Amino acid sequence: MNPASQHAARSRFGFLPQLAVATAMVLAGAVARGADEPAPPRIIVFGAHPDDCELEAGGTAALWAKKGYKVKFVSVTNGDIGHHEMAGAILARRRTAEVKRCAEILGIETEVLDIHDGELLPTLENRRTITRKIREWKADVVIAHRPNDYHPDHRYTGILVQDAAFMVIVPSFCPDTPSLRKNPVFLYTEDDFKKPNPFAPDVVVPIDSVLDQKIACIDALESQFYEWNPWLSGALDKVPADKAGRLAFTRGWVSGRQTQIANRFRAKLVEQLGAEGRGVKYAEAFEVCEYGSRPSREELMRLFPFAGPK
Ligand SMILES: [Zn+2]
């Protein structure tokens, strides 16, 4: 189906009916799983660098993992220039080891692609790579940056994932990797860029119950959050030297960051959770992409079961 006919096939509810039915069948099976029932939903998150997926979706990944959903983080570049004192293969290896530790903490899988940091481009080769990764993971959900982010690697990660959103179901594109029969749901991670359009969440995830896991995950990204980012902001002298002090330092800013997201999207939390939404302290947020499968509200809440009423 080409994009024009795909568009024409959308119902007035804004999604493809046949894909919606297929999604509902998979998700219904995941809720009450038996011996011959479908496997749990599979989620793949693309970030430009070895810390982006963890920062934007670490809490939600921990919640999915607890429910038995299969989650994979992919860093599209190897992060080999993200430091003020080291670079190249040594830094790439260090950052890969850091996200592997994060994956253990969150209960997920992780991969770092060997593309130089700061040099990602939306090439045909990279489109093929991203398409294959989504197919190999047999993804039901794909998450990435919006393509109007500040960093060129973030922008092109967003573009590459958008470019793969239709190609994943086209059998003759990358015929070496079996195409998906069902187009996944694609979503963007939260940001606060305003032009050309601000981020508008379709689902806000309360992460209060897994905040400690997310903090432990960010604490494991030492090269970034105790070295590179503080150096960039001129605050290297504010970073505590001891382990306990560093953890408290990370707790402070991660808590503040996720509180800001919960407060910014409070109305959405109340819409999703009723009065309970007013008490949520920490959140992550996602916006449905216009490409790929367009989920109904009900389907979205099945994919994010911790974001709706219990
Ligand atoms: Zn980044």
Residue ranges per structural domain of the chain: 3-31+40-208+286-302
Cα separation, 295 vs 112, in Å, equals: 29
> Of how many residues is the chain composed?
310
Question: For residue 94, what are the β-bridge partners?
Answer: none
Please state the CATH superfamily assignment of the domain spanning residues 3-31+40-208+286-302 in this structure.
LmbE-like (3.40.50.10320)
Rounded distance from Cα 286 to ligand 1 centre (Å):
17
Rounded distance from Cα 48 to ligand 1 centre (Å):
5
Rounded distance from Cα 303 to ligand 1 centre (Å):
26
Rounded distance from Cα 208 to ligand 1 centre (Å):
24
Task: Report helix, strand or coil for 75.
Answer: strand
Rounded distance from Cα 77 to ligand 1 centre (Å):
9
pLDDT value of residue 89: 98
Rounded distance from Cα 116 to ligand 1 centre (Å):
12
CA distances from 181 to 166, 171, 173 (A): 11, 9, 13
Rounded distance from Cα 111 to ligand 1 centre (Å):
15
Rounded distance from Cα 67 to ligand 1 centre (Å):
28
pLDDT value of residue 36: 66
Tokens of 89: 């293969």
pLDDT value of residue 35: 65
Ranges under pLDDT 50 in the chain:
1-31
pLDDT value of residue 189: 98
The per-residue b/e assignment along 79-99, b for 16 or more CB within 10 angstroms, e otherwise, is bbbbbeeeeeeebbebbbebb
Rounded distance from Cα 82 to ligand 1 centre (Å):
9
Cα separation, 66 vs 51, in Å, equals: 21
Rounded distance from Cα 145 to ligand 1 centre (Å):
9
Rounded distance from Cα 19 to ligand 1 centre (Å):
32
Rounded distance from Cα 155 to ligand 1 centre (Å):
10
pLDDT value of residue 242: 96
pLDDT value of residue 14: 36
Rounded distance from Cα 152 to ligand 1 centre (Å):
9
Rounded distance from Cα 32 to ligand 1 centre (Å):
37
Question: For residue 143, what are the β-bridge partners?
Answer: 45, 187
Rounded distance from Cα 230 to ligand 1 centre (Å):
15
Rounded distance from Cα 271 to ligand 1 centre (Å):
31
pLDDT value of residue 309: 80
Rounded distance from Cα 171 to ligand 1 centre (Å):
32
Rounded distance from Cα 52 to ligand 1 centre (Å):
5
pLDDT value of residue 10: 33
**Residue 261 has what DSSP assignment?**
H
Tokens of 40: 């749990």
Rounded distance from Cα 136 to ligand 1 centre (Å):
24
Rounded distance from Cα 181 to ligand 1 centre (Å):
31
Please give the helix or strand (H or E) that residue 43 lies within, else none: strand 42-47
